[in-house]
């Protein structure tokens, strides 16, 4: 069972998405999107309603696996009430985000919650060795309770598509395509990529395609204005959000995928692009170097350096021998990141803390 806070009054209480898996929407506070720090005020109500739902339906759980810091707060309390082990995956950490210095800082209250959970959880899953080391260095976590299990990717979905066919379908015929994708957030570093694109000058038929965000998004609007101010508005296509099933066509259509993030615990976009056979240029931060191997399947660049990104993009676009070598290595370099392996390693961890393959609860009220 996956418990999450109800954000849409039109959603059913329970959504069954597989024979043995379902999402249960729990009302807590006003129904609708809410700032993550305000959601924290409603976590006690969330916990009470989850316990009430389980009690009324006669459900017992053998463990709790929570994701992100808000859910970790709720999951820890639920696990203690149910006398069940607590496993946590944070995905992102306040002190790491604050160290990236990308604007409004995460609250110390959030950092203290993360520190407490790191001390009390039965097991922690880190997405990379870098994240594991950061938990120890910045939070004083016990390294022996932290297990590195990279998030998996669907290798059946993310696979190479014929490039010319993909470009024809997406209307990108004749262009050299630089692709970027992700949540529109300052931590993703898309401003750096726009600056780098401007430094490329008036290269013939070279286009930046940026996937993510939606109309009315303030951060997306800021990027659109920046592109116009830099004089590259006609060479940048803001696609908006794209269904996951369509992403392989975009990755395959690209000559290179750029991940200019200021921090990534793992780097899912980089892994998906490589699985589609597309070389990646990425910031040398966080977990990205565990995926992008410099001059093997892509290039690593110092973060926040538009000049370095521009130079690397030119190198990959102009050096056909290098491009062929990076492309050849791309997919096989992420063959170990399958969903099946991630599931197998996660189940092994569940069993290592004394669990059978019995009902589980996952808390997902994240932000």
**pLDDT in single tens digits along all 367 residues of the chain:** 999 999 999 999 999 999 999 999 999 999 998 999 999 999 999 999 999 999 999 999 989 999 999 999 999 999 999 999 999 999 999 999 898 866 668 999 999 999 999 999 999 999 999 999 999 999 999 999 999 999 999 999 999 999 999 999 999 988 899 999 999 999 999 999 999 999 998 777 899 999 999 888 899 999 999 999 999 999 999 999 999 999 999 999 999 999 999 999 999 999 999 999 999 999 999 999 999 999 999 999 998 899 999 999 999 999 999 999 999 999 999 999 999 999 999 999 999 987 544 555 666 544 3
What are the start-end ranges of the H helices in 207-278? 218-229, 247-253, 268-275
φ and ψ of 337, to 5 deg:
-100, 40
**Residue given tokens 């043995």 in the structure block:** 20
Q: Helix or strand or coil: residue 234?
A: helix
Q: What is the pLDDT of residue 282?
A: 98
Tokens representing 131 are 């994240």
Q: How far is CA 120 from CA 44, 46, 116, 298, 306, in A?
A: 18, 20, 6, 39, 42
CA-closest candidate to residue 196, choices 299, 117, 291: 299
Sign of CA dihedral 182, 184, 185, 190: positive
CATH number of the structural domain 2-152+340-363:
3.40.50.2000
What CATH number does domain 163-333 carry, 3.40.50.2000, 2.60.120.10, 3.40.50.1820, 3.60.150.10?
Answer: 3.40.50.2000
In angstroms, the first-to-last Cα distance of the chain is 19
Q: Beta 123-126 vs 146-148: how paired, if at all? A: parallel
**Residue given tokens 């099933």 in the structure block:** 245
Q: What is the pLDDT of residue 10?
A: 96
Show me where the domains of the chain are located.
2-152+340-363, 163-333
Contact present, 267 and 294 (Cβ < 8 Å): no
Q: What is the pLDDT of residue 104?
A: 65
Q: Helix or strand or coil: residue 298?
A: strand
Tokens representing 257 are 């995928």
Query: E strand or H helix at 272, and its extent?
Result: helix 268-275
**Which residues, other chains included, contact 75 with Cβ-Cβ below 8 Å and sequence gap of 6+?**
64, 65, 66, 86, 88, 363
**Residue given tokens 């490589």 in the structure block:** 274
CA-closest candidate to residue 248, choices 207, 223, 277: 277
- Cα distance between residue 303 and residue 252, in whole Å: 25
**Which residues, other chains included, contact 146 with Cβ-Cβ below 8 Å and sequence gap of 6+?**
124, 125, 126, 132, 135, 136
- Cα distance between residue 26 and residue 365, in whole Å: 10
- Cα distance between residue 111 and residue 131, in whole Å: 15
Contact present, 70 and 109 (Cβ < 8 Å): no
Q: What is the pLDDT of residue 359?
A: 56
Q: What is the pLDDT of residue 367?
A: 37
Contact present, 219 and 191 (Cβ < 8 Å): no
Q: What is the CA radius of gyration of the chain?
A: 22
| Polymer length of the chain | 367
Same fold, 2-152+340-363 and 163-333: yes
Query: E strand or H helix at 233, and its extent?
Result: none
3-state SS, 13-73, equals: CEEEEECCEEEEEECCCCCCCCCHHHHHHHHHHHHHHHHHHHHHCCCCCCCEEEEHHHHHH
């Amino acid at each position: 069972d996956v418990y999450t806070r109800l954000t849409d009054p039109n959603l059913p209480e329970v959504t069954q998405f597989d024979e043995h898996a379902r999402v249960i929407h729990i009302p807590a506070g006003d129904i609708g999107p809410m700032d993550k720090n305000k959601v924290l005020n409603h976590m006690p109500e969330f916990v009470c309603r989850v316990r009430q739902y389980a009690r009324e339906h006669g459900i017992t759980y053998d463990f709790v696996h929570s994701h992100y810091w808000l859910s970790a707060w709720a999951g820890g309390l639920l696990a203690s009430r149910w006398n069940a082990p607590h496993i946590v995956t944070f995905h992102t950490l306040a002190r790491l985000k604050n160290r990236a210095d990308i604007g409004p800082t995460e609250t110390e209250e959030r950092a203290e919650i993360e520190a407490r959970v790191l001390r009390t959880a039965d097991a922690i899953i880190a997405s990379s060795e870098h994240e594991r080391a950061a938990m120890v260095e910045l939070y004083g976590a016990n390294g022996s309770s932290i297990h590195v299990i990279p998030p998996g990717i669907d290798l059946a979905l993310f696979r190479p598509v014929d490039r010319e066919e993909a470009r024809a379908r997406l209307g990108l015929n004749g262009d050299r395509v630089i692709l970027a994708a992700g949540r529109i957030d300052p931590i993703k570093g898309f401003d750096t990529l726009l600056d780098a694109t401007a430094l490329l000058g008036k290269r013939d038929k070279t286009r930046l395609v940026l996937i993510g965000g939606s109309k009315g998004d303030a951060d997306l609007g800021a990027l659109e204005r920046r592109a116009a101010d830099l004089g590259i508005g006609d060479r940048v296509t803001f696609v908006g959000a794209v269904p996951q099933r369509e992403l392989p066509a975009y990755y395959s259509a690209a000559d290179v995928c750029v991940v200019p993030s200021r921090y990534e615990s793992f780097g899912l976009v980089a892994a998906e692009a490589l699985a589609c056979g597309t070389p990646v240029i990425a910031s040398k931060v966080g977990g990205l170097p565990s995926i992008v191997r410099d001059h093997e399947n892509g290039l690593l660049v110092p973060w926040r350096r538009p000049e370095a990104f521009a130079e690397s993009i030119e190198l990959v676009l102009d050096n056909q021998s290098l491009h062929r070598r990076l492309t050849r290595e791309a997919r096989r370099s992420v063959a170990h990141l399958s969903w099946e392996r991630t599931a197998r390693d996660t189940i092994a961890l569940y069993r290592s803390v004394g669990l059978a393959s019995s009902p589980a609860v996952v808390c997902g009220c994240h932000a």
